[in-house]
């Protein structure tokens, strides 16, 4: 019996770190949790210090956003902010990952817009951090967009 407990304990030592290992999706989940929690500090902690935050508008022009200002807006917002990810595609090689996430954004429970987030992440000191986030806002029918991207995940 003691032998079985010893094997179980030793096995747990090797399996537990693998189960707790950071994934590229961790900071993305934390980012959207921080938005729902109005926690600008938590939000900002998901990014590298020199990270870029951009949106491409419908004419293809880039809008640059400051992560500190974005975090402050999130902290000060009185509205319920909820971004639903409609699917997540992760490509990873060693310490670099790319994550593609169609989304639907809800403000106080009402659908405001939808689009796609594209994240570039780096693994630093065993933690994934967002180096670059670019998104767009879909110009068509968001209900159709949501249905299309929800179906493509099954």
Please tell me the predicted confidence (pLDDT) of residue 150. Answer: 87
Q: For residues 58 and 137, is the Cβ–Cβ distance under 8 A?
A: yes
Q: For residues 121 and 135, is the Cβ–Cβ distance under 8 A?
A: no
Please tell me the predicted confidence (pLDDT) of residue 2. Answer: 57
Beta strands 89-93 and 96-107: pairing type? antiparallel
Taking Cα atoms as reference points, which of 87, 85, 89, 83 lies closest to residue 70? 83
Each of the 154 residues of the chain gets a pLDDT tens digit; together they read 554 455 444 444 444 444 456 999 999 999 999 999 999 999 999 999 999 999 999 899 999 999 999 999 999 999 999 999 999 999 999 999 999 999 999 999 999 999 999 999 999 999 999 999 999 999 999 999 999 998 765 4
Cα 122 to Cα 52: distance, rounded to the nearest angstrom: 13
Residues 6+ apart with CB under 8 A from 77: 38
Distance of CA 154 to the CA centre of its chain: 20
Both tokens of residue 139?
């110009």
Ordered domains of the chain (ranges, CATH): 25-151 (3.10.450.50)
């Amino acid at each position: 019996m003691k032998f079985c407990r010893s094997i179980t304990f030793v096995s747990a030592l090797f399996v537990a770190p693998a189960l707790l290992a950071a994934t590229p999706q961790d900071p993305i989940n934390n980012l959207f949790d921080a938005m729902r929690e109005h926690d600008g500090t938590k939000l900002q902690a998901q990014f590298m210090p020199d990270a870029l935050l951009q949106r491409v508008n419908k004419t293809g022009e880039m809008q640059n956003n400051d992560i500190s200002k974005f975090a402050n807006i999130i902290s000060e917002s009185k509205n319920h902010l909820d971004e639903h990810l409609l699917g997540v595609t992760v490509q990873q090689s060693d310490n670099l990952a790319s994550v593609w996430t169609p989304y639907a954004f809800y403000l106080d429970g009402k659908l405001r817009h939808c689009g796609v987030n594209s994240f570039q992440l780096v693994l630093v000191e065993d933690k994934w951090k967002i180096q670059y986030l670019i998104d767009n806002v879909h110009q068509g029918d968001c209900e159709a967009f949501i249905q299309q991207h929800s179906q493509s995940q099954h």
